[in-house]
A and B are shown apart, each in its own frame.
Chain A
Amino acid sequence: DAGITQSPRHKVTETGTPVTLRCHQTENHRYMYWYRQDPGHGLRLIHYSYGVKDTDKGEVSDGYSVSRSKTEDFLLTLESATSSQTSVYFCAISQREVGNSPLHFGNGTRLTVT
């Protein structure tokens, strides 16, 4: 299994509070991704990174920001959490650019915004 650790695994927070989710990899893969998974929507890309300090938006990036200061860490921040951001968040990594390399996923963070 690819070495991907997401933390925390579960979090409950209140509307309006900032939240940071962490993804840590030990594979030295260049590409890292944040997805959210919701019933009826499947997996949707939030942001991705193609190298240290190189990030770009996915299809559902509003309300989220990311940072990648080291190869191994990719942080997802909800600046002011809303109930619509209640979801399961998955980090994924790939060795090469998307389409040329499979995605390896972490085990997810279940976030509840009350």
Chain B
Amino acid sequence: TQLLEQSPQFLSIQEGENLTVYCNSSSVFSSLQWYRQEPGEGPVLLVTVVTGGEVKKLKRLTFQFGDARKDSSLHITAAQPGDTGLYLCAGHRNRDDKIIFGKGTRLHILP
């Protein structure tokens, strides 16, 4: 059972378009993190959200934590080739103190 579902698994779009990727679960998380991973490298933290309904912006990236703290979304405005990579969400589940990773969304921005 995959506890954190990320969708879509793959996304290929043209430069300049907008996109949203999702991270969904039936579990409640005390915090949720988004990472980006490039080929041959480890994941790098983009943002941590901790409050239900929280919205954080990082330049053209907007992250939202669901009100019930079970889901999150990442919206990219005017995507650029440099946004290409694997986007991972990871939730911290309080009840057993575990970090759960989603399988990731592989994003490819075409120039």
Interface residues of A (CB under 8 A from B): 4, 40-45, 90, 92, 97-99, 102-108
Number of A-B residue pairs with CB-CB distance less than 8 Å in the complex they form? 49
**Could you tell me the distance between the alpha carbons of A97 and B98 in the complex, rounded to whole angstroms?**
10
From residue 2 to 47 of chain B, which have CB atoms closer than 8 A to chain A?
Answer: 30-31, 33, 35, 40-45
Q: Mark B77-111, 1 if CB is under 8 A from A, else 0.
A: 00000000000101010100111011110000000
Q: Which residues of A contact B48 (CB under 8 A)?
A: 102
Q: Which residues of A contact B98 (CB under 8 A)?
A: 45, 98
How far, in Å, is A33 (CB) from chain B's closest CB? 9
30 example contacts (A-B, Cβ-Cβ < 8 A) are as follows A40-B103, A41-B103, A42-B88, A42-B101, A42-B103, A42-B104, A43-B43, A43-B88, A43-B101, A45-B98, A90-B43, A97-B97, A98-B92, A98-B98, A98-B99, A99-B31, A99-B92, A99-B97, A102-B45, A103-B33, A103-B35, A103-B45, A103-B99, A105-B42, A105-B44, A107-B40, A107-B41, A108-B40, A108-B41, A108-B42
How far, in Å, is B25 (CB) from chain A's closest CB? 13
Q: Which residues of A contact B104 (CB under 8 A)?
A: 42
How far, in Å, is B38 (CB) from chain A's closest CB? 10
Instruction: List the 4 closest pairs (A to B, CB-CB), nearest first.
Output: A105-B42, A99-B92, A42-B103, A43-B101
